[in-house]
Amino acid sequence: MIDSPLLNPVHAHIQGRWVAADSARCFAVHNPATGEQLAEVPALGAAETARAIDAARHTLATPHSLVQRQHWLEDIARVLRENKEELGRIVTLEHGKPWQEGQGEVEYAAGFFAQCARQIHELAPRTLADTPRDCRWTVHYRPAGVVGLITPWNFPIGMIAKKLSAAIAADCPSVIKPSSKTPLTLIALMKLLDEHLDLPAGYVNLVTGPAGPISECLMGHPDVRVVSFTGSTGVGKRLIEQSAAEVKKLTLELGGNAPYIVFEDADLDAAADNFIGNKFRGGGQTCVCANRLYVHQAVEQAFSEKLIERVSRLKVGDGMEEGTDIGPLIDRNGFDKVHQHLRDALDQGAELIHGEPPTEPAGDGWGHFFPPVILRGVRPGMRVTREETFGPLVAMIAFDNEEDVIAQANDTEFGLAGYVFSGDLARGARVAGRLRCGHVGLNTGTGPTPEAPFGGMKESGYGREGGQEGLFEFVEVQTIPQPL
């Protein structure tokens, strides 16, 4: 069992109180590296979720000033940074990523609160300079209402930070539903909020448990005006259907299938270094990880060699062990998907040029470590090119001209992240402009940052998180004309 001062108790949190499930039922959370049971977490349902929404709604009656909210945001950023090591450890124990990376995620999360604090003045009412119809016109950014925040397992604290920071900036009370695979980091966050901030009871609620009843309650409740969801495209589509009944606003951060394009004139060392940082973060289980690696045929051999040299240095293991670069996959399903993508590609003629993949599908139990593998000769139509692999499998595809690689890169229903490497900046910018992705790294493999907006095109979702745009996701605009 996990022993942490931030996890006492391991409970949900509603209306300022730690609570168990009405049914007293719990579910187990495991360390994916060892299979050790870390904790038993309350399995709440619809009744508790409705109480959380009710508690949240009550706080709407007392608006909080911009200055108050700015202080809260600053305090959360500070408290996260002060507890980076322990929060990072909890991230690692329940997700599997290396501890350094877990701490980096906490720093990333703190950045969103700090960024919202810096930018919150953008939400102050503004009066138009013009006075049409002999009126003074004022535009207000009102809190949209209670918001539901649903997060995935692959960034246990990073994903909620994006949402909760903007919700607090907008003065929206929230009901958070964390992934059942990684709820402990958010329980620890609630403990920190509880102990270090003076938030009104019910302003931030944490509802742990199976998605079905909790999400149905959030989607069906008239007081919940916005649901912000990060997760798979399949679930996102279901939420779109459910949102119609009450015209609920959704922010959807969904799946990706990122192309990573290396032209013949690129700095190959920089492209390879960036690829390692991009592809293997979180063990290849991030939505912005390169999923398809397009390399110009003139440099395919040279680039492959550089990649192999770098990949061979990566250490796979328990994230709490010193020197680990890649932790385990989250669970057996995650392992099976990577394994199936690999088999499908090999069966259709791709060539394994690095790595010793497991020959068998996953067994029962835990510790699903997948060593990084590199495939060459991947072709359109193989599963690795069509679906998000979510693992340390590099799928290399040779191309010979710009037009063709743009068409291939865009030949997917996803449009989250993409990357272009070229020594010709005009070409790089031209290609970036034609990729239908919300985020395009030009000679960099970097992912999102709190200072800039991030989100998807096409079936990768809508809405933006981070930057100035993200600040407006939870407000309703109200315009008030008044005679001069």
* Residue 401, SS3 per DSSP: coil
- The set of residues, in sequence order, having a beta carbon less than 8 Å from that of 289 and lying 6+ positions away, is 256, 258, 278, 279, 281, 282, 390
Shorter beta-carbon distance to ligand NAP: residue 184 or 268: 184
Closest residue to bound ligand NAP by CB: 231
* Closest distance to ligand NAP from the beta carbon of 76 (Å): 20
* Closest distance to ligand NAP from the beta carbon of 282 (Å): 9
* Closest distance to ligand NAP from the beta carbon of 460 (Å): 6
**What are the residues binding ligand NAP (CB under 6 A)?**
150-155, 159, 177, 179-181, 210-211, 215, 230-232, 235, 238, 253-256, 287, 388, 416, 456, 460-461
The verdict on whether 473 is a catalytic residue reads no
> Length of the chain in residues, anyone?
484
* Closest distance to ligand NAP from the beta carbon of 461 (Å): 6
- The set of residues, in sequence order, having a beta carbon less than 8 Å from that of 426 and lying 6+ positions away, is none
Shorter beta-carbon distance to ligand NAP: residue 218 or 406: 218
Q: Which of 287, 289, 459, 473 is catalytic?
A: 287
Shorter beta-carbon distance to ligand NAP: residue 215 or 324: 215
* Closest distance to ligand NAP from the beta carbon of 450 (Å): 13
- The Cα 257–Cα 388 span in angstroms is 5
Is the separation of the CB atoms in 202 and 15 below 8 Å? yes
The per-type count for the chain, helices as H runs and strands as E runs, is 15, 20
Is the separation of the CB atoms in 339 and 374 below 8 Å? no
- The Cα 229–Cα 287 span in angstroms is 14
Largest CA distance in the chain: 77
* Closest distance to ligand NAP from the beta carbon of 18 (Å): 20
Shorter beta-carbon distance to ligand NAP: residue 207 or 398: 207
- The Cα 15–Cα 76 span in angstroms is 19
- The set of residues, in sequence order, having a beta carbon less than 8 Å from that of 423 and lying 6+ positions away, is 263, 265, 266, 267
First-to-last alpha carbon distance for the chain, in angstroms, is 67
Positive/negative CA dihedral, 185, 188, 190, 192:
negative
* Closest distance to ligand NAP from the beta carbon of 404 (Å): 26
Shorter beta-carbon distance to ligand NAP: residue 49 or 304: 49
Shorter beta-carbon distance to ligand NAP: residue 271 or 326: 326
The verdict on whether 437 is a catalytic residue reads no
- The Cα 455–Cα 77 span in angstroms is 22
Shorter beta-carbon distance to ligand NAP: residue 208 or 304: 208
Of 469, 53, 472, 456, give the one whose Cα is nearest residue 231. Answer: 456
Q: Which amino acid is at 27?
A: F
Active site residues: 253, 287
